[in-house]
Structure 1
Amino acid sequence: MHDDRPTSSRTSTTRTASERIQLRRALTLTLMTLVVPGSAQVAAGNKRLGRVALRVWIACLVAGAVLLLLALFARTSLMGLMTDARLLTLLRFLLLAGAVFWAVLIVDAWRLGQPLRLARRHRPWVAGLNGALCLVTAGALVFAAHLVSVSTGVIDTVFAATTTSKPADGRYNVLLMGSDSGADRTGMRPDSLNVASIDAKTGRTVIIGLPRNLEDVPFPSDSFMKKEFPKTFDCEGCYLNAVNTWAEDHAQELGVKKVGERTPGIQATIDAVEEITGLRLNYYALVNMAGFAKLVDAVGGVTVDVQERTPMFGHDDAWKQQYVEAGRRKLNGEQALWYARSRVLNNDFSRMGRQKCVMTAMLRELSPRKVLMNVEKIADSSKTLLDTDIPARDLNVFMELALKAKSQPVSSVSLVPPVIYTGNPDYDKVRTLISRAIATSEGHGGRPATDGILAASLTTLTPQAPAASSTATSAGTGTGAPAKDPTRANQTDDVDATC
């Protein structure tokens, strides 16, 4: 059929079709490089470069498939790889090299698309798309390399210990201490002492709260403190939380410099806690309270069911009159710290319960997404927050246990009046309570001991001292019904139900 259109019209139509084809070709080459790096070069450019890129891409896909299989069937092994500082360093350099290489391939795909042959109106759009893809792909890899670098820095700084410890009787026992060290304080006296006893297979956890003012603390026969205190830690003002300071102050005269990777004070505290609880401790973790507040802020706060109005001031600054109000609240770092530490209008035993609630809330809320979105803030706070002898090579074990623990009930044992009188503690009873709580946790599918079970377990144990009226009030409701109150004194309970 004869085309009756003017020659200029036919030429314009042909040019438009050619422009569309050229635009389609340029976009296709760019998108090919985005989806399968090197494919554009194999199709229309430097085939040797393209083959190299394709081999690298296939290797990355294979590595990703292996990691996926490890995540599904060998999560502990995957976490071991993720916490190996040498592998992380290598991965960081590979990511940086990959960022540069991929950006070069995308720019080369733009060149292969012959940008000067594009219509003028198409050139800026194609160039802009190409530049945006370079920024997105290279930027994502550079950011990933930054995350790896941050993780490596935390591992090298915080988890620098090299000695590993196997579980005792199928459990990892970790001493958790909270300290408010500062220029206005003499020595380091832990204000918070808890033992987390974790089933090495299931992650079921029992948290044992130790009053800081326990008196007549015993030491095992092989402790260097036994030379000075053959019976108990019975000097003036010598409570459990003073063991660290005393050992550090007298380390030179005792001829003790360091016990493995632990300071004399930390080792002495561990010795005492082992003798008190009857548990062999694998590791310790010392948390600086100011660092803890930064960590809470780093993850965007922590949601806690505040059981009672809690003062945010000390005895010397009561004029502030600031409170954490009762109810379900999202606490920032300062509020969470005060809620866990306040003793105004309550006591040490109330504080112990609130500390468990805050720790459990943090365990529940620290999701992978939160960690990823706040990794740099968490890393910065962690370097000042935590001192521990958990080695990097055991991090995979504890990461796996933490994931398991999130879906398990957490039990708690509080060694407080009227069951345990801190001024004259019966350590045989202490060890009995702890062993029974652990046995109950393991023997009932992780279901924690209830007050009824505890009461039955205490029928053969003679109380040491009558509870003071204030303690008795905080220990229960007076009706025999369990109260959801973290200040209750004589309980082995489900922390989730209590908090």
Structure 2
Amino acid sequence: MTVAAPPRATQARAPRPTLIEQRPMRNPDLSSREVMTRRGWWLVALNFLIPGSAQAVAGGRRLARIGLGATLVMWALVVLAAVGALLSRQLLVTLATNWFVLLIAQGLLLAYAVLWVVLTIDTLRLVRLVRTGGLARFGIALVAVVLMVFSSGGAAYAAGVAGSARDTIATIFGQSGPSVPPSDGYYNILLLGADSAKGRDHMLFDSISVVSVNAETGATTITGIPRDTRNVPFSAGPMQDMYPDGHAGHSDAFCGWDNKINQLNTEVGQCLDGDAMYPDAADNGSTPGIEATKDAAEGVLGIEIPYYVFIDMDGFAALIDALGGVDMKVSERLPTGAIHQNSDGSLSGVTGWIEKGTQHMDGDTAQWYARSRYTTSDWDRMKRQRQLQVAILDQFTPANVLTRFQSVAAAGAEIVNTDIPQSLLPYLSDLAIKAKEQKVTTIELTLESVGGIGVDPDNPDFAFIQQYLNETLHPPTASPSPEG
């Protein structure tokens, strides 16, 4: 008798998950508004946080590769910039001030901004808004658009900043001479201020000072030379050949009615053959009158001054407005307007007054604050100009400049001329960062300088001036005390 084998015990198998359960982002349950709404929010978030990832999980592979590749490149560049800032800030500034690097950066940022728009539109297609909840579909669309404006707009703004920086550098430093090493440990720069509307060749410089920046520490000393300083000596060159005993002034009333330092620009530009005296001036981004003023400042201070920066005071207000104004502490009530002093000492043309106390000044008010001289002395006027210079430097914070970069760059390109070469920008920029951490030392060469050196502009002791400045820039080191 044959006995039938007992049936084999069978183990119940779990049902294989459906495709929808395996890949809910790519193949969601279209019938569930809850699932589609949750999926929509996730896709929008992924598109913002990691552009291209929404396509990677729910869309076309090709667009996903483009988006993720661009995102990885941008992240890599940001990481490299951060590492560069930590390891070699000067290298980072070198790249950031190179016109070709800025051009590439501008192109990449614009392309990334456009790509982000494309990815956002495609993400909204993948969301399938009609399948989401009633209110959620509007919320998802609104958030996606807002995030797109924030991200893509930010990239577009950064591209604009790169373009503005490139144009500004090319405009200001487009015709610059060779780079020279620091002299006795300092970079010395002649800072000139005047109204260029009067004409570049015959304007009188309203403000003359020399900025000395320590090449190691960035410590900055500003020495103000009164515009009325007379009989200035010159460093070796054509002006010294003409005036070996100091500037005597030109006899022509049109060129200069006496021998003040601020009239050299008129004399050399209008009445002497300045182009023959300084044949390389134009090629180096300078003028004969500025070069003559450099030679005079070198003779007065006894230092080498290879570079200049000219600021057009007529457009100076635009830079201050671009920075959002400037805070100044006014110690004396000052008049504003096209002022004329009458023979009896009264003033005409006064349009307003700058009151005592702390004032937040716009560009026009700050300009009059620096110019006003009829109710105060030249010393006080120079002091106010120096205070304004320092206050403006304080306004150049990274946050302020970045948020206002376009207008600051445009204003700077309009009012600044210099012969500082582009190759020196990274080094000077690095020193400028160090300088912001230190107090600026100021020296005013006037009789009224409180705590200063007391110099008579009509009869200056140039040997004393040179000795004083040398001791300021190179203070004697304390000798170690003997042991025991």
Q: Is the TM value for this pair above 0.5?
A: yes
Over 3 Å counting, the alpha-carbon distance change for 1:84 and 1:233 in structure 2 is same
What is the 5 A alignment of 1:77-88? 77-88=91-102
- Taking the aligned partners of 2:145 and 2:353, their CA distance within structure 1 comes to 53
C-alpha distance in structure 2 between counterparts of 1:295 and 1:303, whole Å: 14
* Residue equivalent to 1:424: 459
The answer on 1:142 being equivalent to 2:156 is yes
**TM-score normalised per structure 1:** 0.80
The alpha carbon displacement at 1:427 in A equals 1.1
Q: SS in structure 1 opposite 2:107?
A: helix
> Contact 2:226–2:445 (CA<8 Å) still a contact in 1?
yes
Residues 349-399 of structure 1: CA deviation (Å, up to 9, x unaligned): 221111111111112232111112222221222122111112233222222
Residue pair 1:304, 1:361 contacting (<8 A) in 2 also: yes
Report the counterpart of residue 496 of structure 1 in structure 2: none
Q: State whether residues 30 and 131 of structure 2, in contact with CA within 8 Å, keep that contact through their aligned partners in structure 1.
A: no
Q: What fraction of aligned residue pairs are identical, expressed as a percent?
A: 33
Q: Which residue of 2 aligns with 1:289?
A: 313
Letter in 2 for 1:163: P
Q: Distance in 2 between matches of 1:56 and 1:433?
A: 58
Q: Based on CA coordinates, which of the two structures has the bigger radius of gyration? A: 2
279-288 or 387-396, larger mean C-alpha shift: 387-396
Once the two structures are TM-superposed, the CA of residue 184 in structure 1 deviates from its matched residue by: 8.9
Amino acid at match of 2:261: L
Does the 8 Å CA contact 1:162/1:392 hold for their aligned counterparts?
Answer: no
Deviations 1:429-450 (A, max 9, x none): 110111112123x859xxxxxx
State the alpha-carbon separation in 2 of the partners of residues 267 and 321 from structure 1. 37
What residue in structure 1 maps to residue 340 of structure 2? 315
Structure 1 residues 417 and 125: alpha-carbon distance in aligned structure 2, compared to 1, 3 A threshold: closer
Q: Where does residue 470 of structure 2 map in the other structure?
A: 435
Structure 1 332/128 Cα, relative in aligned 2: closer, same or farther at 3 Å? closer
Pick from 414, 422, 440 the counterpart of residue 444 of structure 2: 414
1:109 corresponds, among 112, 120, 123, to 123
Counterparts of 2:132 and 2:357, CA distance in 1: 65
Task: After TM superposition, give the deviation of residue 274 of structure 1 in Å.
Answer: 0.8
Change in Cα spacing, 1:425 to 1:110, as seen in structure 2 (3 Å) is same
Contact 2:275–2:288 (CA under 8 A) maintained in structure 1 = no
Instruction: Give the corresponding residue for 1:352.
Output: 382
1:212–1:240: 8 Å Cα contact kept in structure 2? yes
Structure 2 partner of 1:58:
72
The whole-number CA distance in structure 1 between the counterparts of 2:198 and 2:312 is 13
Return 5+ residue gaps in structure 2 as ranges.
1-28, 250-256, 342-346, 449-453, 479-484
Q: Is the 8 A contact 1:91 1:145 kept in 2?
A: yes
How far off is 1:117 after superposition?
3.2
Question: CA-atom RMSD, angstroms?
Answer: 2.3
Deviation at residue 179 of structure 1 after TM alignment: 0.5
3-state SS of 2:242 partner? coil
The residue aligned with 2:410 is 380
Residue by residue, what CA displacement relative to the aligned partner does 1:27-78 show, whole Å, maximum 9, x if unpaired? 2122212111121222222223312322221222121111112222322221
Gaps of 5+ in 1: 1-14, 445-499
Output the CA distance in 1 between the equivalents of 2:180 and 2:200. 33
Matched residue, 1:180: 195
Matched, 1:118 2:138: no
Structure 1 segments of 4+ aligned residues over 6 angstroms from their partners: none
Counterpart Cα distance in 1 of 2:331 and 2:397: 25
Residue number among 416, 421, 424 corresponding to 1:391 in the alignment: 421
State which drifts further: 231-240 or 172-181. 231-240
User: How is 1:150-299 mapped onto 2 (pairs within 5 angstroms)?
Assistant: 150-160=164-174, 161-183=176-198, 187-221=202-236, 223-235=237-249, 236-252=257-273, 255-256=276-277, 257-259=279-281, 260-261=283-284, 262-299=286-323
| Structure 1 residues 208-242: Cα deviation after superposition (integer angstroms, max 9, x where no partner) | 01011111111223x12234323221024121001
Q: Which amino acid aligns with 1:304?
A: M
| Partner AA of 2:52 in structure 1 | G
What SS does the aligned partner of 1:308 have? Answer: coil
**How far did residue 276 of structure 1 move?**
1.0
- Structure 1 residue identity aligned to 2:72: I
Residue by residue, what CA displacement relative to the aligned partner does 1:157-216 show, whole Å, maximum 9, x if unpaired? 112125222211111111111102324998121110011111112111111010111111
